[in-house]
Structure 1
């Protein structure tokens, strides 16, 4: 009788690369509600955005390479876990930015289920505004980017605030007027609430958000960060030129066939954000003291945001920050204060 000897545990024979890949792929939950997962307590086991998945996978591979070079005896993810903090410290010692180290700490937290409040969670260096390497003065890449030759692109970015990926996917059909927005809102609001699907309700909310913006023309971002859809106002002195370019682009064609890799997209978004904030912001002294602190009994301005860290003490109008946040495609106003609003 012939006896076939097989592997008792096939998973054990997968190398670290394959084990990590399978782990992250198994956590993919694209399109699912993160809010519902948080409520159910299952969010730590899921990755809700494809871009987030790509980022986690990229930095996980750096970790795996480190393990292979420095601890080749580790052949399983479980055995490699004890070297997570060693790797993160090595990355910090290399001089990588605090932003990168925090991202890599989050990556390891997701891969191994380590919560930020866990005593073994790596404590990365603090992230300060002055440490951000992007969009801070002249950089080497700027030498390869002609502002003269790319003048229209720069003006377009400053007037729309689109991310690089959003700019690359913008098509001629993605120009929307305020009249079109109001017509669709009226159509949706005229239907019985019970007939509206969850998708209808979500779209109605997006359309209604556009009412907080000034201007008559908007870009329709169909797939922004985290898969979020939004309408962003076209603003500034070059709005007419921007609108014309989109109008003259056939519906299914891309408005920009090529976006220069050295274009400072984040910097242009920051200028867009600052312009929107200034257009909507009230003078801080004009914002009413509308709440009373239960502890001290003192009145305070609930609509005033006080910055922290390197911008500690600076005060901003929360209502204007919300408008700015919606236009950029972010959910938290603190992101706007920490990363975009400048020179006030």
Structure 2
């Protein structure tokens, strides 16, 4: 008789079954909304639409499984499923007591809820995320030492004008930059966060600069043949968002960065 596979094997197999690479989360949500007859439904489809999400969630789920095996002698997948609510609640509570960041705890909970179901550990109240807790790119970081802005003017201009993510800039094609009859320019993102496509308007005043980047180039060519891995795209995204805010709300001051993130933003990011 062959050896019974270990718990980790079953965890990985279940994660494999949840993969939906190349499929649209947006379309899946639309189908669910139609089936439920709830136009505003915004829950999880229960699937994984990107390799990055799989990597992050797998790391957290395997850490939880190893914790359950080490502390509660859980060896079989049915045991893990049966006691999921109790174990996940204890695991999250330990994370709170260890003062793990709210962002980490919410990511862990999202991963475990995708795996076990979205009602698991409902009794555990996680600490709220605050804007002041988000440290990335607020000050000079190590990667800045390896990035020379003067060598990448087109990349910086594009990031500031569009606010795209690193992978979105890397993947965009020439024919996905579209000039509109009214003079505006939009960038079509085929595969954004969660596999969702969207159209991003270029900031007013940058239109001709963006069109100059693609002038005379083949339609299916990547706009950027190479993306510098140490480019702090997040800082340019933030600057772009601030500029967009000022364009749409002239005369208004930007939020001061204090206080909690809005509930709508928190719920959207958890999913």
TM-score > 0.5 by shorter chain: yes
1:34-62 C-alpha deviation (Å, 9 max, x unpaired)? 24436549966722633544442232233
Residues 1:112 and 2:116 are matched in the alignment: yes
**Matching residue of 1:247:** 215
Report the aligned-residue RMSD: 3.7
Task: Give the whole-Å Cα distance in 2 for the aligned partners of 1:333 and 1:231.
Answer: 25
CA drift of 1:102 comes to: 0.5
Q: Is the Cα–Cα contact under 8 Å of residues 129 and 310 in structure 1 kept in the other structure?
A: yes
**Matching residue of 1:77:** 77
- The TM-score, its normalising length taken from structure 1, stands at 0.61
**Matching residue of 1:256:** 224
CA drift of 1:131 comes to: 0.7
Task: Give the whole-Å Cα distance in 2 for the aligned partners of 1:258 and 1:264.
Answer: 15
Higher deviation after alignment, 273-282 or 128-137 = 273-282
**Matching residue of 2:155:** 153
1:310 counterpart SS class:
coil
Residues 1:166 and 2:164 are matched in the alignment: no
CA drift of 1:99 comes to: 1.0
- 1:28 and 1:155, CA in 2 relative to 1: closer, same or farther beyond 3 A? same
Higher deviation after alignment, 87-96 or 103-112 = 87-96
Q: Is the Cα–Cα contact under 8 Å of residues 175 and 220 in structure 1 kept in the other structure?
A: yes
1:176-197 C-alpha deviation (Å, 9 max, x unpaired)? 1113xx8xxxxxxxxxxxxxxx
1:103-160 C-alpha deviation (Å, 9 max, x unpaired)? 10111122122527722xx332221101112221112222222222233321210011
1:134 counterpart SS class:
coil
Gaps of 5+ in 2: none
Gaps of 5+ in 1: 1-5, 183-214, 285-306, 313-331, 340-344
1:190-228 C-alpha deviation (Å, 9 max, x unpaired)? xxxxxxxxxxxxxxxxxxxxxxxxx52221212222222
Q: Which has the higher contact order (CA 8 A, sep 6+)?
A: 2
Bigger Rg, structure 1 or 2: 1
